[in-house]
Amino acid sequence: MAAVTARAPWTFRQPLVVRSSLRRWRTTLGMVAAVGLALGMVMTMMAMIGGSTWLYVGDYQTSGADLYVLQRGGTLVPLLPGEGLGSLDDARHRMAQARGLPGVRAVVGVVAWPLRRTPDVPVRRLPPERFLAIGVDGDAGAIPNALDVRSGRWLERDDEVVLGPKLARQKGLAVGDTVTLERRRLAVVGVGKLRGASLAGDGAAFMTRRTVQELGHVGDRVDFLIVDAAEPGETAAALASQIVSIDVWDRGRIVAAIDQLMSRSMTIWRMVIGLALFLAGVFVSSMLSRSVIERSGELATLRAIGVPARTIASLVVGDATLVAVLATLVGIAISRLLGFWLDRVLAASLNMDSIYRADAGLFAQAFLVALVLGALAAILPTRRALAVEPAEVLRES
């Protein structure tokens, strides 16, 4: 070989498969557009599934509370008609028991009760407006990230109320206003919620448990207790052994139950996602096959001059990989645009904060899906490329 006197340019240094795939970008454009669109739709659907799921699990994932204690047989996530929380009677005693256990850092009792909103000026023939009131007993601020206060502050007195963000938005109420419930005027001191207090916390009015007891004539009961513990496993066992007729739910059990609840309604979405990916895969496979047929002369030449079969295969796989990478980028762009529109227009119209939840993990998943799709789509074209007989093709040409 000749002595080395010139350095090869950067493009020359790239492997044949890279140069070949990149320079064929025009022929891959159609595939990139189609697969990118499919991936964009899939990512958006996955982000909406994520958004829907997060609406329910988000509070439990964010709150530092470890355990939820409720009546035996009750459920935080009703899956069947008739299922519900149940209630814990003799609430003061049970909360005292729980607070006395070693390793327990905070215990908050929660009770939900509907209360009528009474107008300041009596108006006839108007049906009474009902608020879902959530009574809170204990220092919720002691549990890390349990409080989500958007404006104002959390409850300090019995004549105060904190409105859930959705409720405040719907009723046009803000900090400084007053709300009259069951003929008692309550000062709105904040807009926010106690995370994990209810799946409908955004639409509830939070007040002290004593206020709910007085206004709703509720006895000494709570729906459940929220517990923050240093050693959740040990505390759960201690709670179960020392307080009769209770169930203890940890975060994992809640999330699993919500996933089970969501999975029923998500089946159709998953079928649509599967169909979109299948169609995209078939499209890419047929386009790659067509490309292989068009390039059969070149592939035959490469085989004739001794280029190994694995390099020939990598030329097709390289095209598929390029399509996967570019289509993922196109898909992310489409999905972000759709997500922006969904949150700005659709979520606002549905009185929701967000229905699109996408993060790097979702896009990484989509990229993996695209790679797998590309690899599957490349199987048949690659076999076709390897089946090219140089003698036949070169003789024909």
Q: Is 252 in the site for other proteins (CB under 8 A)?
A: no
* 250's tokens: 């940890």
- CA dihedral 303→307→308→309, nearest 10 degrees, is -40
Which is nearer to other proteins, 123 or 305 (by Cβ)?
305
Per CB under 8 A, the list member of 255, 256, 262, 307 interacting with other proteins is 307
As a whole number of angstroms, the distance between CA 264 and CA 271 comes to 12
Q: Which residue's CB is nearer to other proteins, number 50 or number 318?
A: 318
Name the residue nearer to other proteins (CB basis): 53 or 291: 291
Q: Applying CB under 8 A, does 302 fall inside the site for other proteins?
A: yes
Cβ–Cβ under 8 Å, residues 54 and 212: no
DSSP 284: H
| Contact positions with other proteins (CB under 8 A) in 367-396 | 390-391, 394-395
Q: By the 8 A CB rule, do 293 and 381 touch?
A: no
Decide if residue 317 touches other proteins (CB under 8 A): no
Looking at 64, 84, 141, 297, which residue binds other proteins (CB under 8 A)?
297
CB 10, min distance to other proteins, A: 10
Any contact of residue 308 with other proteins (CB under 8 A)?
Answer: yes
* E strand or H helix that includes residue 68: strand 67-71
- The reply to whether 3 sits near other proteins by the rule CB under 8 A is yes
Q: Tell me whether strands 184-194 and 147-152 are parallel, antiparallel or unpaired.
A: antiparallel
Q: Which of residues 8-27 bind other proteins (CB under 8 A)?
A: 8-9, 12-13, 15-16, 19-20, 23-24
Q: What angle do CA 380, 292, 31 make, to 5 degrees?
A: 80
In the complex with other proteins, which residue's Cβ is closer, 368 or 394?
394
E strands along 214-337, which residues? 221-222, 224-229, 246-250
* Tokens (6 digits) for 338: 């759709």
Give the footprint of other proteins on this chain (CB under 8 A). 1-9, 12-13, 15-16, 19-20, 23-24, 297-298, 300-309, 311, 390-391, 394-395, 397
